Amino acid sequence: MDSKTFTHKTAENAKPKDAPYKLSTGRGFYLLVTPTGGKLWRYDYRLNGRRKTASLGSFPDVSLKEAADKQVEFRKLIAQGIDPIGEKKRVRAQAVQNAAEQARTFEVVAREWFAKRMMSRSPRYQHQILSRLENHLFPFIGACPIAELETKDFLAALRVTEARGALEMAHRLAQLVNQVCRYAKVAGYVKHNEAADISEALTSKGERQHRAAITDPTRIGDLLRSIDEYPGDISTRYALRIMPYVFVRSSELRCATWAEIDMDKAEWMIPAGRMKMRIAHVVPLAPQVVKLLTELRHWTGHGSLLFPSPYSASRPITDVGLLNALRRLGYGREEMCIHGFRTTASTLLNEQGFRPDVIEIQLAHKEPNAIRDAYNRAEYMAERRAMMNAWADYLDSLRNTGREKNVSMEENS
């Protein structure tokens, strides 16, 4: 039977037999009739010396003409050296990929990134990041497939915030977009990070305002002596005296509890929940700090907090209270702030040649990484303890040098 004698009726009238059989239309194109009554269009061909069979559908869902048209398309592909079966799979896979890319919008990927990267952060920080996404980015690019977004699209979304004069926020959003796109690239959703250098196209937010800090050794000595003479409440007095030695963040010091202090080991373990990076942090305590804590325990050791408020034993002193104490000692806002003790320590410890990695770990500046953090604790603890002891001795030398000069001046007068 050839293509001229094979008609729709031929396929329609074909009856099943005990074994499968073929009704050929020529050129390897035929109808396969199965014992169960199935009628399947097939096309046998050879490519690169190998015989293959392509499925063209089943009758009557696929008519003779439709099957014949498919066979013609397949023959054209074979003539170009393209395997029609492989091409069919490729086209199907491409369709699936295209559908996935269309569904993988910036919002979908951003929420996926958020779920993987932000769940370990504080609820407050999570809320802050999610609000920025939902209020400043999703309304403009959230519904766009991330694979189709270009640098100009991201920049257009940021320009809306920039136009309001919120330059700092625009730069924060640029950083956020960059993080999401970097994740998308690593996850294989996009080939390139189109937001990698996007902040370069934004209006400069101006020179960063650094927190006020004293780094001149002579003036540090003056500050320490002033703190020693502070006449305020016990909690504030000891918090100010301890802070220069330990240079932790204000909230980490103010909210410290006696349960966190191990006087025998001379260590202070700040739990992860109270740390900015959400990783437990160890502060080796120099002998000077242990002495101050021993004195303080006489006053506040009956409660849970090291530095309870003078108005409520269940609440710690406030950041404003510490700051006001500095102001009462005569240090203005452009001269020194509570966070400045960290800057002071960082600057002078680096100048004195301590390893930057050790300083950064003690400042708890390192990014969260469970394996690296555990390694650093074990590997650097002895070095950190030596550094903290040396730092305490150095502060005492600055305090005492100025005091000795004052005594000498009084004696000479």
Q: Tell me, what CATH number does 69's domain have? A: 3.30.160.390
Both 365 and 251 in a single domain?
yes
Distance CA 35, CA 375 (A): 70
Q: What is the residue range of 167's domain?
A: 106-201
CATH number of the domain that residue 298 is part of = 1.10.443.10
Both 278 and 397 in a single domain?
yes
Q: 281 φ, ψ to 5°?
A: -125, 130
Reading the block at residue 397, the tokens are: 């030398």
Given 142, 174, 201, which residue is the final one in a domain? 201
Kindly state whether residue 22 falls inside one of the protein's structural domains.
Answer: yes
Given 143, 169, 201, which residue is the final one in a domain? 201
**Tell me, what's the pLDDT at 288?**
98
Q: Which of 52, 219, 339, 366 is catalytic?
A: 339
**Tell me, what's the pLDDT at 267?**
96
Both 96 and 112 in a single domain?
no
Residues 203 and 292 sit within 8 Å (Cβ to Cβ):
no
Kindly state whether residue 212 falls inside one of the protein's structural domains.
Answer: no
Closest CA to 256 of 237, 235, 241: 235
For 144-264, strand residue ranges (E) read 261-262
DSSP 146: G
DSSP 257: B
Q: Which residue has the tokens 């509890």?
A: 257
Q: Which of 116, 365, 372, 405 is catalytic?
A: 365
Both 298 and 197 in a single domain?
no
Q: Which of 125, 127, 265, 375 is catalytic?
A: 375
Q: Which of 70, 171, 241, 249 is catalytic?
A: 249
Residues 6 or more apart whose CB falls under 8 angstroms from that of 373 comprise 279, 366
**Tell me, what's the pLDDT at 413?**
36
Given 135, 168, 201, which residue is the final one in a domain? 201
Q: Mean pLDDT in the chain?
A: 86
Kindly state whether residue 314 falls inside one of the protein's structural domains.
Answer: yes
Both 285 and 302 in a single domain?
yes
What SS3 class is residue 24? strand
The answer to whether the peptide bond before residue 60 is cis (omega within 30 degrees of 0) is: yes
Both 32 and 57 in a single domain?
yes
Q: Residue ranges of the chain with pLDDT lower than 70?
A: 1-4, 87, 91, 93-101, 205-211, 366-379, 402-413
Q: Which of 342, 384, 385, 399 is catalytic?
A: 342
Both 29 and 149 in a single domain?
no
Both 223 and 178 in a single domain?
no
Kindly state whether residue 126 falls inside one of the protein's structural domains.
Answer: yes
Kindly state whether residue 208 falls inside one of the protein's structural domains.
Answer: no
Distance CA 380, CA 326 (A): 33
Distance CA 106, CA 7 (A): 53
DSSP 214: -
Entry pTM: 0.51
Q: Which residue has the tokens 């930057």?
A: 356
Closest CA to 202 of 228, 166, 241: 166
Distance CA 369, CA 41 (A): 59
For 134-178, strand residue ranges (E) read none
Q: Is 192 a catalytic residue?
A: no
Kindly state whether residue 210 falls inside one of the protein's structural domains.
Answer: no
CATH number of the domain that residue 189 is part of = 1.10.150.130
Q: Is 297 a catalytic residue?
A: no
How many domains does the chain divide into?
3
Kindly state whether residue 206 falls inside one of the protein's structural domains.
Answer: no
Both 301 and 158 in a single domain?
no
Residues paired with 43 in a beta bridge: 29, 54
Residues 6 or more apart whose CB falls under 8 angstroms from that of 51 comprise 44, 45
Q: Is 90 a catalytic residue?
A: no
> Residue 97 is which amino acid?
Q
Reported as type and span, the H/E element at residue 155 is helix 151-163
**Tell me, what's the pLDDT at 7?**
87
Q: 389 φ, ψ to 5°?
A: -65, -45
Q: Is 276 a catalytic residue?
A: yes
Q: Which of 276, 297, 366, 403 is catalytic?
A: 276
Dihedral sign computed on CA atoms, order 139, 144, 147, 148: negative
**Tell me, what's the pLDDT at 371?**
39
Q: Is 399 a catalytic residue?
A: no
Both 329 and 266 in a single domain?
yes
pLDDT, one tens digit per residue, over 43-76 is 998 888 788 888 889 999 999 999 998 888 888 8
Q: Is 403 a catalytic residue?
A: no
Closest CA to 41 of 82, 10, 18: 10
Reported as type and span, the H/E element at residue 47 is strand 39-47
Both 65 and 21 in a single domain?
yes
**Tell me, what's the pLDDT at 26?**
83
Kindly state whether residue 283 falls inside one of the protein's structural domains.
Answer: yes
Both 51 and 121 in a single domain?
no
